């Protein structure tokens, strides 16, 4: 075997070793480092019994009473269970993803709307203890995800979960007048000051 072949063989061996390290120990380290960027990784949604939402339209505070949620300080203000379930479910999904760090500049947060002045601030609590404090910005360009930052941090991440749509709305209250099983009902009477009428199943 000539000298040229020995050199080529040595280079090939070095490349194989580098590939092994990159895919093996170093690859595991990269995956771990990326996973640590997830600001929701330590969030236990089951411990949340108070949600504070602050945005351009003011502040709302939701509290959990037994298994039901209601707006704090407002009588008969039960929340739409589907809206709350959707918001909490999106946070559970966020725990499992690997968000992308898009910026570490505070000045760029205005562009992503993840500053406290432009974004939708969410504070999750257990009683008076703050569990998680973050700001949801605008949707990503494909409207499938959202920009998000921890309050007080200059970093902005892209989340593949559309947190903007499940938190940034005003349709939280349960607008049902009453809840009843429909099967036993066969007649409904509508009564007004000047008239009344009845609808009945045939």
8 Å CB contact between 158 and 145:
yes
pTM of the model: 0.71
Enter the tokens of residue 144. Answer: 């499938």
What is the signed CA dihedral for 95, 106, 101, 54, rounded to 10 degrees?
30
Q: What is the three-class DSSP state of 199?
A: strand
Distance CA 154, CA 35 (A): 19
Name the band, by pLDDT with cuts 50, 70 and 90, for residue 202: confident
Q: Which residues pair with 149 in a beta bridge?
A: 135
With a cut of 90, say whether residue 192 has pLDDT above it. no
**DSSP 8-state secondary structure symbol assigned to residue 140:** P
**Residues for the chain: how many in total?**
202
8 Å CB contact between 67 and 79:
no
Name the band, by pLDDT with cuts 50, 70 and 90, for residue 176: low
8 Å CB contact between 136 and 148:
yes
Q: What is the pLDDT of residue 34?
A: 46
Name the band, by pLDDT with cuts 50, 70 and 90, for residue 198: confident
Name the band, by pLDDT with cuts 50, 70 and 90, for residue 113: very high
């Amino acid at each position: 075997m000539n000298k040229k072949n020995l050199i080529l063989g040595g280079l090939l061996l070095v490349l194989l070793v580098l590939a092994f390290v990159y895919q093996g120990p170093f690859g595991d380290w990269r995956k771990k480092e990326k996973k640590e960027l997830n600001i929701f990784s330590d969030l236990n949604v089951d411990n949340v019994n108070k949600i504070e939402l602050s945005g351009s339209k003011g502040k709302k505070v939701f509290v959990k009473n037994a298994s039901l949620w209601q707006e704090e300080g407002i009588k008969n203000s039960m929340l739409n269970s589907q809206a709350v379930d959707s918001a909490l479910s999106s946070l559970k999904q966020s725990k499992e993803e690997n968000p992308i760090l898009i910026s570490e500049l505070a000045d760029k947060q205005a562009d992503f709307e993840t500053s406290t002045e432009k974004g939708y601030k969410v504070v999750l609590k257990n009683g008076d203890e703050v569990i998680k404090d973050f700001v949801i910005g605008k949707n990503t360009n494909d409207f499938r995800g959202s920009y998000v930052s921890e309050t007080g941090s200059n970093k902005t991440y892209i989340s593949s979960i559309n947190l903007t749509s499940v938190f940034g709305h005003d349709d939280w209250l349960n607008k049902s007048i009453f809840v009843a099983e429909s099967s036993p009902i066969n007649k409904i009477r509508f009564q007004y000051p000047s008239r009344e009428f009845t609808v009945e199943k045939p």
